[in-house]
Structure 1
């Protein structure tokens, strides 16, 4: 059984998946930026591989995307775009595995890292392994989208791993075949059977031994260690303060008002303050943490001037930003940028081989 997290913990969804979905919406003519902003999400922040979006905002965005696009097959469309490197350390670990079975074992153990509301159980039946996907909690009308993205994503990624369709594999789905599926059936290169008792990927023992074409034992070991570390960190970040911080990190406009964050998390402002206090945190301290992290990113990774950075971080002017940054770090933003560039230059110089 894979590690799982209850829906009430809300460990967040990797923002990159919503970014990919937004790009799909753009391709079919929907104003994806307007939709993200209406949900309170910053389109730029979604492109980060390290950011996670709250379950509530992710669900609202997906629901509106399906309704406003009029495309119930968005889950299948998303599945086709899920290239393995997008899945972080887990994607790298899977790509560097020896066999398809090793890759599926990794998915079973670490799926929580990429989809906290899903878990996997595997069992042998009829000469094949059944990898059954279960939703923790009730996702309601989004269940079809989630299962489409997950199971059909496995099909497309399996082809990426071994270079061809998985012979001896199939998909089982609960319920009747949806009316939209006929439009996608031809692109699903393995059999799909609806009306089953489970949502599962079924793989024969022979297919499980198929070699992965990117196999790399050393990389597999190091990336698996990263997955273990990330899983531990994710479970440690299950507190209410982390849920609040996730909303703050991805919010537009930034910083968000306390009332907006409370509404996103379905609690009152008073309850939000009380629960943060119970965890020795405050809303303003979390805003400041996010501001400092983003300030460092912008100072080291861009050439934006201080007025531009101040505007992005929600300050009236550069002077207010400078005072806050100096209070947090003891030095001015300009000094910080200079020191970071000096440090980067020293590292680059040390790595450059001397002329022969």
Structure 2
């Protein structure tokens, strides 16, 4: 029996995907800002390749997006927008691979970095390579959305890598063809077979030798090393305090109340405090860590004055923020900003001026 999303290990979802979905919603007339705020997500924090959103919040946002847009084919629409650079180090590693087969091998190994709980298994038979996609949790109504985005996104990314749609490629889907798919069939450049025994990408084995347009051996090696490190860190960061921090990092309003974070993670306030104590952490400590990270970023990379930064971080005034920042760092915000300006490169200074 598979676990549910709410009870499975929460590795988070890359925030950039929700940002992309929000932009897609806006293009079809949905007030994406209002929807994000109702889920408790800060729209300004999602445009990041580094942050991850807690899976309960990501699931709630996607579910509401499908309902309020009235578009069950959102996963297919999102797949069209998935450009390789959006996938972080994995996207870079895939783009710099030598062959299509190498790129698919990277996807098989590192998919967890981008879509937690999905696994890809490869097998070859009768001249065909089959990449079966399975999920170790019960996604419920999100299953179709995730599989649409994953499989149709692979078709699009294969074309990005080789310069054209991979000849002979096809998609297998479990279950009957959903009614909404008829509206999209003519837009999908490969055969899609429903009522299959698995969800899979099938490609002629000979096509795996197709060269990738952006091959760069040095970049491939360095980005693969980044993927290995990211996978190790993601696995180590699976503790409860990391789950709490993910919610804090992307919450609106900031800082979030303890009760709201507990509700997002489906635990009581008492349980949240106890589980943090077991990991030698506290809710306030995590809030302060996020505040410090945000404060440093705003001081280095924005033109906001101290009062505006204090407001963004949830302080009553600049004096309270200044005292807290000095307690954390031993220097005042103004001194920190001056030092950062002096050490910035000319290019960084030009970006900050913009």
Give TM class, smaller chain. over 0.9
* 1:49 alignment partner in structure 2: 49
User: Does the CA-based 8 Å contact 2:6-2:56 persist in structure 1?
Assistant: no
From the superposition, tell whether residues 153 and 275 of structure 1 become closer, same or farther in structure 2 (CA, over 3 Å).
Answer: same
1:353 counterpart residue number: none
Give the SS at the match of 2:92.
helix
Aligned residues of 2:6 and 2:266 also touching (Cα < 8 A): no
2:9 is equivalent to residue 9 of structure 1: yes
Q: What is the CA-CA distance between 1:114 and the residue it aligns to?
A: 0.3
Residue 35 in structure 1 maps to residue 35 in structure 2: yes
Deviation at 1:184, TM superposition (A): 1.2
- Tell me how far 1:126 sits from its aligned partner: 2.7
Q: Distance in 1 between matches of 2:14 and 2:7?
A: 15
Please show how residues 153-192 of structure 1 align to structure 2 within 5 Å.
153-192=153-192
Residue 125 of structure 1, CA deviation: 2.5
Distance of 2:17 and 2:128 partners within structure 1: 31
1:272 match: 272
**Mapping of residues 102-141 of structure 1, within 5 Å:** 102-141=102-141
Q: Tell whether 2:338 aligns with 1:341.
A: no
Residue of structure 1 in register with 2:328 after alignment: 328
Give the drift of 1:344.
Answer: 1.4
8 Å CA contact 1:6–1:137 kept in 2: the answer is: no
Q: Deviations over 1:227-270 (max 9, x none)?
A: 00111111110000000000000000000000000000000000
Q: CA deviation at 1:322?
A: 0.3
- What is the aligned partner in structure 2 of residue 352 from structure 1? none
Q: What TM-score do you get using the length of structure 1 for normalisation?
A: 0.95
Post-superposition Cα deviations, 1:296-351, rounded to whole Å, max 9, x if no partner, equal 000001110000000000000000000000000000000000111111159989xx
CA separation in 1, counterparts of 2:347 and 2:189? 48
Aligned length: 345
- Distance in 1 between the 2:341 and 2:117 partners? 41
1:260 aligns with 2:260: yes
Residues 138-168 of structure 1 show CA distances to partners (whole Å, capped at 9, x for unaligned) of 0001100000000000000100000001012
Q: Distance in 2 between matches of 1:256 and 1:294?
A: 14
Deviation string 1:6-52 (CA, Å, 9 cap, x unpaired) is 97211000000000000010000010000000000000000111110
Q: Do the aligned partners of 1:7 and 1:137 also contact (CA within 8 Å) in 2?
A: no
| Distance in 1, Cα, partners of 2:136 & 2:15 | 20
Q: Does 1:225 align with 2:225?
A: yes
- 2:149 equivalent to 1:146: no
CA gap 1:289/1:348 in 2 versus in 1, 3 angstroms: closer
Q: Which SS does the other structure have where 1:252 is aligned?
A: coil
Describe the shift of the 1:73–1:116 C-alpha distance in structure 2 as closer, same or farther (beyond 3 A).
same
Cα pair 1:6 1:136 within 8 Å, conserved:
no
Contact kept, 8 Å, 1:14 with 1:50, in 2: the verdict is yes
Runs of 4+ in structure 1 over 6 Å off: 346-349
CA distance in 2, matches of 1:116, 1:43: 22
Q: Is the 8 A contact 1:7 1:136 kept in 2?
A: no
Residue 170 of structure 2: SS of its match in structure 1?
strand
User: Do the aligned partners of 2:124 and 2:205 also contact (CA within 8 Å) in 1?
Assistant: no
Query: Which residues of 2 match residues 53-132 of structure 1 at below 5 A?
Result: 53-132=53-132
- Equivalent residue number for residue 243 of structure 1: 243
3-state SS, counterpart of residue 138 of structure 2:
coil
- List runs of 5+ in structure 2 lacking aligned partners: 350-354
Question: Aligned residue for 2:352?
Answer: none
Residue-by-residue CA offset, 1:174-208 (whole Å, 9 max, x unaligned): 00011111111122111110000000001111111
